[in-house]
Structure 1
Amino acid sequence: MSQNILITGAAGYIGGSILADLIARSSSLIKKANISAAVRSEEQVQALSKLGINVLRLDLSDEKAVAEAVIQNQIDIVVHTASSIVGSLALNLIKALGQRREVSGDQVYFIHSSVTTMFSEEGGWPFGEVRDTDDLLGQEKQIEPGNPVRDSNILVTEQAKILGVTSFIVVVPYTYGRGTGECKKLSVNLSTYIRTSIAKRTVYKFDKDGNPPTAHISDVVALYTLIIMRILNKDLVPSGEKGYYFAMAHRYSWWNVMQRIAEAMHARRLVDEPEAKIWPSYEMAAESLGYPLLYMRAIGTSTGELVPVNAYKLGWNPKWDEEMFMNSMDDEVLAVLELDTAKASIFDTLLTTSN
């Protein structure tokens, strides 16, 4: 029997790219699946409707509307890319899937999106090196509540278990490259730095270098699709408390990236100097980039000792490495010049339902 998939944040960078990948797949299991996309605006409905899928204009904060959408469209799998920070949106979807399971008697699945910053010292992680095979739920529960991303991870895993929903958490790193969705094609992170550098005619870096985990958008999408395929194949894969997946393909140096961006932008006469300068203050950085000052240091300097295991055990095989990333800086600049229509920050992405 075919299964029905709902992608939230389907007009966004990651969600839209997942949607495009699924549509392009030739696998009979994907072809048999009915794909629905949840978006927020009528404009987004019109943009995605031409893809030949079921597009829902859906307010994920409306519990009743979410339940009706999941039940009426007989959704078995939800891929939630719309928000990592608003746990109530995930909870509404999980509750709806629980109702769907009671009606159908079939297993239902929830794939949640989190972020790697939460597993860094700068993001409040006190345990040092961390593998996605560790007891991450237990460790997250030991940390004082109040971080919305971490609280959402706990909520998803615990409530899914209570309601009989099989859950997975894909922990997304800094992601780069051109997306393939119909709407947002820009990496939120780098495009924000490039846009700000153009406005200030200067590329800035922070007083401390970071070495965060990262992955190309195509590799991140490949992990989501791999999990979906395993579900469709009815394979037994780690889920629930053991279902964290670090989507980390490689690392990079923030300072080196900012320097490459400075050189690429200077060559295009977009900035005055080919050297990255230190931000005069975190306050100035937060105001210029549009990030909350509270999260500025974590966003700008995080590293984290993450060790991905689960994704590779599934057969995930990232194609992009650090050298390829570093050599792509001019294309990242060009992408902003060609495609920039949205002025979203990382925090806006996490907070809203557009990803």
Structure 2
Amino acid sequence: MARIFSSPAPPGTCSILAEFISRTSGPLKAANVSAAVRSEGQVQSLSNLGVNIVQVDVSNELAVKEAVVSNEIDIVIHTASAVDSHIVSALIKALGQRRESSGQENYFIHSSVATIFSAEGGWPFGEVRDTDPIFEKEKEIEAAHPVRKTGIVVTELAKAQGVTSFNIPVPQVYGRGSGEWRKLSVSIPAYIRTSIKHKVVYKFDKDGSPHSVHISDLVAFYVLLTEKILQKEPIPSGEKGYYFPISHRTHWWAVMERLAKALHARGLVMEPKPEVWPSDDIAAEYLGFQRRHIRAIGTSSGQLVPVNAYRLGWQPKWDEETFLASLDDEIQAVQELDTVKSTVFDNPASNE
């Protein structure tokens, strides 16, 4: 029986966990799922799900090794941090030790951030397909982004440890998640809460069109990938194991126009039209994002072409039209559920 280890602190992973344990047939039904948590509160929240709850400090290498080895983990789905290479190193080394003791193949699924493949994210090569030699190109970039550095560590260390790795650059996520923990995404709720607080919807001086995915479609991708692994299907991994789970683009100015009208109709902002941010510094301060990443978050577009993800058989259901039509639901979700702050680069797959 395969044993899967996931960290549900980011709600995107909570949604993945909820989908895993809801399966009544297929390879996931027979899998033994463990959920790594950081706090006692999370232990209590997830204790009734019927999964093995492991409270562990993922930054503690010895604790991680003990958790992985003692719980006989074969697959790790990692969404705890896209920027902390120490966490991924600890998890991959633990999997390597588990492989040595069990003699079985082990897998590491790493969640990254898609904006690092935009010009604003330091990507100089233009259009990129997930079937391109991405790893080699990333190694060429001298001033590597911390997210990129962590991804390189994943590929190199996993190979050295005999662990099969997959790199998932997650685009902008939206929609209400499922599971027992946080349920909101990062960017859209940040814009909504900021607009409500300051009574105005802001947009950047440059329009951006980032790649996007609804949380339900993202979860479906992780489920599909994990099922392929459990069925031992020969799919791209390691240096070729990049997957772009992208369903459509999102045009920020169109989003801000819709948000301004919807928030004004609720009496939450003063005007039904957005204004331009006075400065990037103010945008970073109000939204709660790091100043050095604010242009990438607010204005990037990128030219990512998903191939591997669709070759698996992934079929996302959401497009830009349905997303724009759902923005009033996004506002409602923030008003109902917005209790925990998140950071976009720590939790790439998050749906807090």
- TM bucket by the smaller chain? over 0.9
Structure 1 partner of 2:263 = 265
Distance 2:307 2:27 in 1: 26
Tell me if the contact between 2:2 and 2:31 (Cα under 8 Å) persists in the aligned partners.
yes
Post-superposition offset of 1:11: 3.0
Post-superposition offset of 1:282: 0.4
Tell me if the contact between 1:192 and 1:345 (Cα under 8 Å) persists in the aligned partners.
no
Q: Would you say 1:300 and 2:298 are equivalent positions?
A: yes
Q: Alpha-carbon deviations, 1:241-295, whole Å to 9, x = none?
A: 1100001100021000011111111111111111011001001101111111111
Structure 2 partner of 1:128 = 126
Distance 1:344 1:243 in 2: 27
Structure 1 partner of 2:248 = 250
Provide structure 1 residue ranges, at least 5 long, that are not aligned to the other structure: none
Post-superposition offset of 1:348: 5.3
Which amino acid letter does the alignment assign opposite residue 231 of structure 1? I
Distance 1:146 1:88 in 2: 16
Structure 2 counterpart of 1:67, from 20, 41, 65: 65
Tell me if the contact between 2:112 and 2:348 (Cα under 8 Å) persists in the aligned partners.
no
Structure 2 partner of 1:342 = 340
* TM norm structure 1: 0.97
Tell me if the contact between 2:209 and 2:252 (Cα under 8 Å) persists in the aligned partners.
yes
Aligned 1:5-44 pairs, distance under 5 A:
5-8=4-7, 10-44=8-42
Q: Would you say 1:96 and 2:97 are equivalent positions?
A: no
Please give the secondary structure, in 2, of the residue aligned with 1:202: coil
Please give the secondary structure, in 2, of the residue aligned with 1:227: helix
Which amino acid letter does the alignment assign opposite residue 283 of structure 1? D
Identity fraction in percent = 58
Distance 2:335 2:210 in 1: 25
Provide structure 2 residue ranges, at least 5 long, that are not aligned to the other structure: none
Structure 1 counterpart of 2:84, from 69, 80, 86: 86
Aligned 1:1-355 pairs, distance under 5 A:
2-8=1-7, 10-347=8-345, 349=347
Distance 2:272 2:337 in 1: 23
Answer with 10-19 or 109-118: which moved more: 10-19
Tell me if the contact between 1:262 and 1:273 (Cα under 8 Å) persists in the aligned partners.
yes
Post-superposition offset of 1:303: 0.2
Distance 1:49 1:244 in 2: 33
Task: Describe the shift of the 1:42–1:354 C-alpha distance in structure 2 as closer, same or farther (beyond 3 A).
Answer: farther
Distance 1:60 1:348 in 2: 13
Task: Describe the shift of the 1:171–1:265 C-alpha distance in structure 2 as closer, same or farther (beyond 3 A).
Answer: same
Task: Describe the shift of the 1:28–1:347 C-alpha distance in structure 2 as closer, same or farther (beyond 3 A).
Answer: closer
Which amino acid letter does the alignment assign opposite residue 6 of structure 2? I
